[in-house]
């Protein structure tokens, strides 16, 4: 039975499988190798996914969910989610736990369910293309996804009827596609700029061994942000000329964002392009429209800070790995945004050597995930992947101090133990609160979960010995346990996604 490799993207999703030693890309019903990660609601109240769903966004934006991967595993109140809300066409509300829910057609759907709908369609497409049932998959995630986001991705796959053999970091998957089957002996960096996220990873590749030595990224830096910058410019110009704020008009906003995305693509090929949107606000004045000529040079000036942001992440990853730019043999460009001339020019200037742009940036992660899937399904495979955790894991101590237990860039799987104690006399219980991030204080990091260890025998403060154990698996998912070594009372928790479980059956 084949095992799928799936690149579950913010904007598009790609699936592949290795058959007879060759990679087969799974095509959707339109013959495309990538499928928009968009879900819409039709007039009969049924959900559908893919190209038709994206097409409906132009006419019924409030019935289409897009870019939901940016909401996955996030708190509704987070700065990143709040910055995203003005640029999405559907309503987002908070559930009782403070997690975001997408609201379309009077129905509330979690980002997990949206991802599950996309994966469910990928599963059906693959079964049709391969002529057999598909039950297992390797799914890629951004390298900088935290534990909550990874668990949410795994939950989405389970809702779609897929067993996840492994979650693989997107740049790591790209490196597998680049180096598999060759005799390369190199240190490479993968610069992965997709629709919603940016990642960079550094790997050492040697005869089937893929050793990740550094990774970093930003889950709110991607092609969507380039679209938004151009959309903001168009809205600002229109308001200056006509006194009307189009950001308050949901239909107008979707048309503008779509036009900005198309213009961005055109400007990778041409020096200028024209954006024409007649009757942009018919409810106010049907004679008004947008007509702008956008030059590549102007667009690049608008976007320069985003590209510089990506290079700062590259520098930090190299620094944390103890490397310099000259230590890299090659830099592989991955993700649709790497077609942008400005990005190629700035990255090449930073690297001071030619870039590797030989692989299809839209398919390479899916191909790498398929290669990893093949290796897991083939016991005699020579491929060995050694990945790392992208963020530090630890617990809360007194005064909200964050105590690291597993530093970032630690090889996974990994297990560690550390002893703690009480801070009050005769304390009978302690709460173990788990966080992930690089801040020195807990409020600067992501809260993953908590549990209470009770039954501690009465004793003066600092006397009880409480052993806390962290175990992180190859998917980057964490299990935490604690035991009072005197009373032998113990408790454990697998850090699970804080988003809602499925509330609706998806009518596919």
| Structural domains of the chain, ranges and CATH numbers in brackets | 3-221+305-388 (3.30.420.40), 223-300 (3.90.640.10), 393-494 (2.60.34.10)
DSSP 88-106: -SSEEEE-TTS-EEEEETT
CA dist 190 → 42, 69, 74, 134, 173 (Å): 40, 21, 26, 30, 10
Residues annotated as part of the active site: 7, 69, 170, 192
Return d(Cα 488, Cα 409) in angstroms, integer: 33
Tens of pLDDT, residue by residue, the chain (508 residues): 899 999 999 999 999 999 988 999 999 999 999 999 999 998 888 999 999 999 998 888 899 999 999 999 899 999 889 988 888 889 999 999 899 999 999 999 999 999 999 999 999 999 999 999 999 999 999 999 999 899 999 999 999 999 999 999 999 999 999 998 887 789 999 999 999 999 999 999 998 899 999 999 999 999 999 999 999 999 999 999 999 999 988 889 999 999 999 999 999 999 999 999 999 988 888 899 999 999 999 999 999 999 999 999 999 999 999 999 999 999 999 999 999 999 999 999 999 999 999 999 999 999 999 999 999 998 767 888 999 999 999 999 989 999 999 999 999 999 999 999 998 999 999 999 999 999 999 999 999 888 899 999 899 999 999 999 999 999 988 999 999 998 898 988 776 533 333 333 333 3
Element (H, E) at 296: helix 296-320
Of 253, 257, 368, the residue nearest 18 (C-alpha): 368
Say if CB 201 and CB 317 are below 8 A apart.
yes
Report the distance separating Cα 39 and Cα 508, nearest Å. Answer: 10
Phi-psi region of 375 (alpha: psi -120 to 50; beta: other; left: phi over 0): alpha
Q: How far apart are CA 230 and CA 265, in angstroms?
A: 12
Spacing of C-alpha 299 from chain mean position: 26
Residues contacting residue 51 through CB under 8 Å, at least 6 positions apart: 28, 30, 32, 35, 36
- The three-point CA angle 259-265-270 to 5° equals 110
- Alpha helix segments (H runs only) across 195-281: 223-242, 250-266
Separation CA 63–CA 43 (nearest Å): 10
Kindly report the number of other CB atoms within 10 A of residue 193's CB atom: 27
Q: Strand pairing partners for 356?
A: 332
Instruction: From residue 270, give the alpha-carbon distance in Å to each of 239, 295, 297, 355.
Output: 27, 9, 11, 21
Identify the H or E element spanning 4: strand 3-8
pLDDT tens digits, one per residue of 420-434:
999 899 999 999 999
**What's the pLDDT tens digit per position in 389-412?**
999 999 999 899 999 999 999 999
pLDDT tens track for 31-74: 999 999 999 998 888 999 999 999 998 888 899 999 999 999 89
CB 209 within 8 A of CB 239: no
List 288's β-bridge partners, or say none.
none
Query: Of 112, 12, 6, which Cα lies nearest the Cα of 53?
Result: 12
């Amino acid at each position: 039975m084949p095992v799928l490799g799936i690149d579950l993207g913010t904007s598009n999703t790609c699936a592949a499988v290795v058959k007879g030693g060759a990679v087969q890309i799974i095509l959707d019903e339109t013959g495309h190798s990538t499928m928009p990660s968009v879900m819409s609601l039709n007039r009969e109240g049924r959900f559908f996914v893919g190209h038709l769903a994206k097409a409906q966004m132009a006419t019924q934006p409030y019935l289409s969910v897009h870019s939901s991967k940016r909401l996955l595993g996030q708190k509704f109140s987070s700065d990143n989610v709040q910055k995203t809300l003005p640029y999405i066409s559907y309503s987002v509300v908070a559930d009782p736990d403070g997690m975001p829910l997408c609201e379309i057609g009077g129905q509330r759907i979690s980002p997990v369910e949206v991802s599950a709908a996309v994966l469910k369609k990928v599963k059906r497409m693959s079964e049709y293309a391969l002529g057999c049932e598909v039950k297992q998959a390797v799914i890629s995630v951004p390298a900088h996804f935290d534990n909550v986001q990874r668990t949410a991705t795994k939950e989405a796959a389970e809702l779609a009827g897929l067993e996840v053999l492994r979650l693989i970091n997107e740049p790591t998957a790209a490196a597998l596609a680049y180096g598999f089957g060759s005799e390369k002996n190199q240190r490479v960096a993968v610069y992965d700029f997709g629709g919603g996220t940016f990642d960079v990873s550094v790997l050492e590749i040697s005869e089937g061994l893929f050793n990740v030595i550094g990774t970093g990224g930003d889950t709110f830096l991607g092609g969507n942000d380039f679209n938004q910058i151009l959309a903001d410019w168009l809205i600002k110009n229109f308001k200056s000329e006509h006194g009307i704020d189009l950001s308050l008009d949901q239909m107008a906003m979707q048309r503008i964002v779509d036009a900005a995305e198309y213009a961005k693509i055109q400007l990778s090929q041409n020096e200028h392009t024209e954006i024409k949107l007649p009757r942009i606000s018919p409810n106010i004045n049907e004679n008004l429209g947008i007509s702008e000529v956008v030059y590549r040079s102007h667009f690049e000036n608008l976007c320069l800070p985003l590209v510089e942001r990506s290079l700062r992440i590259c520098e930090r990853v190299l620094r944390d790995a103890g490397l310099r730019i000259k230590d890299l043999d090659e830099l592989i460009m991955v993700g649709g945004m790497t077609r942008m001339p400005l990005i190629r020019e700035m990255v090449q200037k930073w690297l001071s050597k030619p870039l590797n742009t030989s692989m299809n940036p839209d398919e390479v992660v899916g191909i790498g995930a398929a290669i990893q899937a093949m290796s897991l399904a083939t016991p005699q495979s020579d491929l060995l992947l050694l990945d790392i955790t992208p963020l530090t894991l630890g617990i809360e101590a007194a005064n909200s101090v964050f105590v690291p237990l597993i530093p970032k860039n630690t090889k996974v799987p990994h297990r560690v133990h550390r002893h703690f104690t009480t801070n009050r006399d005769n304390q009978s219980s302690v709460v173990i609160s788990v966080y992930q991030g690089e801040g020195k204080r807990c409020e600067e990091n992501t809260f993953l979960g908590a549990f209470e260890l009770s039954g501690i025998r009465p004793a003066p403060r600092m006397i009880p010995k409480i052993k806390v154990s962290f175990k992180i698996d190859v998917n980057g998912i964490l299990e935490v346990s604690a035991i009072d070594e005197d009373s032998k009372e113990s408790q454990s928790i697998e850090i699970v996604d804080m988003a809602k479980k499925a509330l609706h059956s998806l009518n596919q």
